[in-house]
Structure 1
Amino acid sequence: MIGAVVLLTALVVVGLFVTYPDAEQIRGWARAAGPWLPLAFFVTHALATVALPRTPFTLGAGLLFGPVTGIALAISASAMSAALAFLLVRAIGRAAFAARLTHPAVAAVDRRLARRGWLAVGSLRLIGPVPFPLVNFCAGVSSIRLAPFLIGTAVGVLPGTITVVVLGDALTGRTDPALVVVSAICAVIGLAGLLVDARLGVEKADADDPA
């Protein structure tokens, strides 16, 4: 109890008296770091998101590098991360991973992948609550091939990635209003994709119903 009070007090003191860099200063540091930083970011993003969520890295891409470079880095690193996870499963063996994928969401992901291939990958990427690594590992266990998997990944992550990268760029206060419009359009496209996917699921279920 005493330790918790001390920790809370220390956090309050740090929050009151320590000066943090703002978003524009962070962007300036990224520019000053030179061309090695985007490469380091790409490698870190690709390796870390084999097991971790993408969102902090996507937001960081917009904050550090701006919309154009940020989107390119986030999309390419996400595709590389997906490929690494997919190939890792295939290298170790599908059966070994399948025995460990016991999360309740896995069965639903497997059904989608078996039913619609790369379209399922794209739709699962559009669904925020479905973890990025989970889709990668489930796809590796499934019979889908690498090329359709990567196509579905690139298509599926594009709307959300653009939206989050532009949000990260907006933290600097210099975002072009046109980019905000593009971000909103991408968010709408993502929502439309979810609605289409839901409709396809209903239609497929109806077709499979023997009644």
Structure 2
Amino acid sequence: MKRQKGVLKWGLILITIVILIWFSRSYLNFRVEEIRDWILSFGILAPIVYMVIYTIRPLLFFPASVLSIAGGLAFGSMFGTIYTVIGATGGAVLSFIVARKLGKSIANKDWQGKGRKLQEQLEKNGFFYVLFFRFVPLFNFDLISYSAGLSKIRFTSFFFGTLIGIIPGTFAYNFLGSSLVSGDPKVIALAVGVFILLSVIPILIRNRVEEKRVIR
């Protein structure tokens, strides 16, 4: 019974990924291409504009995945990944600073549930927890940044944990975005494969961690 549930769950995950890919090739692709064209309209300043937009993204509540794919379309997988990592790290730092400036008294009164548990874990072993949470999507990206800002974690631990931890996922989105430019079915298939692989591995790790928690 447990095995059947596992097969069903992975089947649903794969179906969801396929639907998302199809969606990105139709409606989402149109939106992403518009964003890419707008970014590239700044010419030589395009990379700077892109990184600035990504940095303030948490304040705009704009979906990071769409912006990452647009980065891959605009700059290719390599430079798109570099610019996105810089921008995403900048956005995380901005959220961290905003949370820290707002004051811990607010958090102590209102921060409950997952936020409270996450905050406690961040205070115990800062760098490794941030690195883990960035690689394995247990919590929302911005929630981690705000929680870290409200905790006692050192800024350097948060910064480097974020910088290193977001690289695999960022590359996956940018590679997927850059593959749409080529239009080559083989390149797109490879990009989809890489995207699925880098999406499934964190889920496997997360499930393993949750199983250990249940056993304990």
Q: CA RMSD in A?
A: 3.5
8 Å contact kept, 2:180–2:188: no
1:55 alignment partner in structure 2: 65
The TM-score with structure 1 as length reference comes to 0.69
**Which one-letter code corresponds to 2:150 in the other structure?**
V
The runs of 5 or more residues in structure 2 that have no matched partner are 1-28
2:81 alignment partner in structure 1: 71
8 Å contact kept, 2:176–2:191: no
Task: Please state whether the residue corresponding to 1:143 is helix, strand or coil.
Answer: coil
The TM-score with structure 2 as length reference comes to 0.68
1:10 alignment partner in structure 2: none
Cα distance change of structure 1 residues 25 and 88 upon mapping to structure 2, 3 Å threshold: closer
Q: CA deviation at 1:26?
A: 7.4
Give CA deviations for 1:46-105 in whole Å, capped at 9, x if unaligned. Answer: 012246242121111112221122111110011111111112222232222444434x43
1:13 alignment partner in structure 2: none
1:155 aligns with 2:164: yes
1:146 aligns with 2:161: no
Task: Please state whether the residue corresponding to 2:146 is helix, strand or coil.
Answer: helix
Cα distance change of structure 1 residues 60 and 25 upon mapping to structure 2, 3 Å threshold: closer
Aligned pair count reads 187
Give CA deviations for 1:92-147 in whole Å, capped at 9, x if unaligned. Answer: 32222444434x43134224324442222122223446221111010111111111
2:99 alignment partner in structure 1: 89
Name the structure where helix makes up a greater proportion of residues.
2
The runs of 5 or more residues in structure 1 that have no matched partner are 1-19
Identity over aligned residues, as a percent? 22
8 Å contact kept, 1:63–1:169: yes
Give the alignment of 1:1-211 within 5 angstroms.
31=40, 33-50=42-59, 52=61, 53-102=63-112, 104-128=113-137, 130-173=139-182, 181=190, 184=193, 188=197, 191-196=200-205, 199=208
8 Å contact kept, 1:24–1:172: no
**Which one-letter code corresponds to 1:71 in the other structure?**
T
8 Å contact kept, 1:86–1:137: yes
Cα distance change of structure 1 residues 194 and 113 upon mapping to structure 2, 3 Å threshold: farther
